A and B are shown apart, each in its own frame.
Chain A
Amino acid sequence: MRRGWSRSLLAVLAGMLVLAAACGGDDDKSDTSGNAGATETTASGVDGSITVFAAASLTDAFGDIKEAFEKENPGAEVTFNFAGSSALKEQILQGAPADVFASANQSNMDPVKDAGKASDDKVFVTNKLEIGVPKGNPGKVTGLDAFGIDNLRIGLCAEDVPCGEFGREALENAGVTPKPDTEEADVRALLTKVQSGDLDAGLVYTTDVLAGGDQVQGIEIPADQNVIAKYPIAALSGSKESATADAFVAFVLSPDGQKLLEKRGFTPAA
């Protein structure tokens, strides 16, 4: 009886494998034919679709870059996976199909390089921290010292996320022991809670304050307390569309790409 069960289980699992393989094959085929079609119609530029893993803070800027890049390369298609850099690093190390990685700090890029998934990375922009407060600044926040005040509702990014790491560094520079009410998984989640007014202040990037629009005001942090975040980008070595991945990285580093990033509040670094 028991043997019978395990045998049918095996048969079914084998069947599933075959099915999965067959589906995979189909995908490949349609993919190549799609590429062939695109090559015929594209006069210049690269084609194929790539997946870019990018830090959450790049959401808006990379949206602009995608638009411009796809305009310049009509055969190319860019898909994004935005999240906290540490999560992205982890996904890449676990074998997620990424072609380009743009991290908000070096410490999440290095393990990817160490694992042989990227050989060459370049810093493409810098960003700095700013205190984001809801419109009207209900908590009357004026500086980093607010983050140590008990009855203000303040938020930081979780410690392992770049904005959390930099945020704690800046607070240390200012000699403030933070009393956070929440430690958010990424900077955009933190921004959302500042936007809604549920937090009196959140330590985010300058670019996020800009992205928050009317609902968020920024309070600058003195240069001697602030931390400059350097964003590295790299094409990943496992990429099936390495030409397109390289072209995307090159575009981000190009004057056109840098201009788009600057428009969203980043400081060009290339």
Chain B
Amino acid sequence: MSRRRRTTGDRPPWALVPLAAVALAFVAVPFVALIQRVPWSALPELLREPVVTDALRLSLVSAFSATGLSLLFGVPLAWMLARTDVPGRGFLRGLVVLPMVLPPVVGGAALLFAFGRFGLLGGPLFDATGILLPFSFSGVVFANTFVAMPFLIVTVEAGLRAADRRYEEAAATLGAGRWTVFRRITVPMAAPSIIAGAVLCWARALGEFGATITFAGNLQGRTQTMPLAIFLDLESGGADRESAIALSLILVAVSLAVLIPLRDRWLAA
């Protein structure tokens, strides 16, 4: 890490120091408190329990799937919002970030009204194919994508708007088609924001709780992700509370393992 240290660092205005310390303490103290409660001796055993391994697997697969879907559909939408003059762009931008401010439980209920058995789209889908999203793993991915994709879109859109467009114009004058420009110039130039957005999106999806339990329900091995398992264990108390704390530690460790290297590489710039 030290190899990337650029300067000796600025000396902060003194007033910033205590405020920054409050922010740091505010984030750090709860984690310290959590770690202090971890039943270390029971940890190896807990890690082998099917409830834990199932939840961890579902969490990881669903978070990566949601990130993949968000990249596939979110990057094009971010490009549209950043580069075109679609009518009502301001409104569309607001709409896109709505899941960020909406309580996730409301998002889950909205998904149920849209894709549930008698939902706007879910009804016809079920009648035609017999496919039902709630209570299925696809439902978990849907809920995760719904809640997490805005983080990707907002980040990528900001990156695209900040990018220097002269390179794209130069490429176009040299005869590159629009698709080639997008593929060869726009995407590589926006790569840092795309990766940063994907990381934020993944992190949000991994922690998703409200929309998932509301839309996809809770069943071990099918829809019970880590946050759901933690919530239910925490609620019932007793020995389950210990496993909830252990699960939380695992979730924290997994997130850190992914976030720290990426943050260093892409978000610190």
A: which residues have CB within 8 A of B? Answer: 5, 8-9, 11-13, 16, 83-84, 86-87, 89-90, 93, 111, 153, 155, 158, 160-161, 180-185, 189, 193, 196-199
Contacts and interface: CB of A to CB of B under 8 A. Distances in A.
B186 interface: no
Contacts of B25: 9, 12-13
Contacts of A158: 218, 232, 235-236
A111 B113 CA distance: 40
Given A8-B17, A13-B25, A160-B235, A185 B112 contact: no
B229 to A, nearest CB: 11
Given A86-B237, A183-B232, A184-B217, 11 more contacts: A5-B17, A9-B21, A83-B235, A90-B234, A93-B237, A111-B237, A183-B219, A185-B218, A185-B235, A197-B116, A198-B118
Contacts of B17: 5, 8
Contacts of B116: 196-198
Given A8-B18, A11-B18, A182-B218, A153 B213 contact: no
Given A12-B25, A196-B112, A185 B232 contact: yes
A90 B217 contact: no
Contacts of A13: 25
B187 to A, nearest CB: 39
A156 to B, nearest CB: 10
Nearest to A193: B217
Interface of B is mostly: helix
A87 B232 CA distance: 9
Contacts of A153: 117, 132, 135
A164 B29 CA distance: 35
Given A160-B235, A182-B218, A184-B218, A8 B21 contact: yes
B231 interface: yes
A181 B219 contact: yes
Contact of B18 (A12, A93, A184, A196): A12
Contacts of A83: 235
Nearest to B240: A160
Interface in B89-125: 112-113, 116-118
B33 interface: no
A197 B21 contact: no
Nearest to B222: A181
* Most chain A beta carbons < 10 A, residue from B22, B116, B218: B218
A160 B24 CA distance: 37
B241 interface: yes
A90 B235 CA distance: 7
A12 B144 CA distance: 38
A181 B218 CA distance: 8
Interface string B10-51: 000000011001101100000000000000000000000000
A86 B112 contact: no
B193 interface: no
A70 to B, nearest CB: 29
B134 interface: yes
B223 A182 contact: yes
A84 B217 contact: no
17 contacts: A9-B24, A11-B18, A90-B237, A90-B241, A155-B217, A158-B218, A158-B235, A160-B232, A160-B236, A161-B235, A181-B217, A182-B219, A183-B220, A185-B231, A193-B134, A193-B217, A197-B116
Contacts of A111: 237
A239 to B, nearest CB: 21
Nearest to A10: B21
A182 B135 contact: yes
* Most chain A beta carbons < 10 A, residue from B25, B117, B234, B241: B117
Nearest to B24: A9
B231 A12 contact: no
A15 to B, nearest CB: 8
B213 A185 contact: yes
B235 A86 contact: yes
A90 B236 contact: yes
A198 B134 contact: yes
B22 A16 contact: yes
A55 to B, nearest CB: 13
B126 to A, nearest CB: 10
A163 to B, nearest CB: 13
A44 to B, nearest CB: 40
Contacts of A8: 17-18, 21
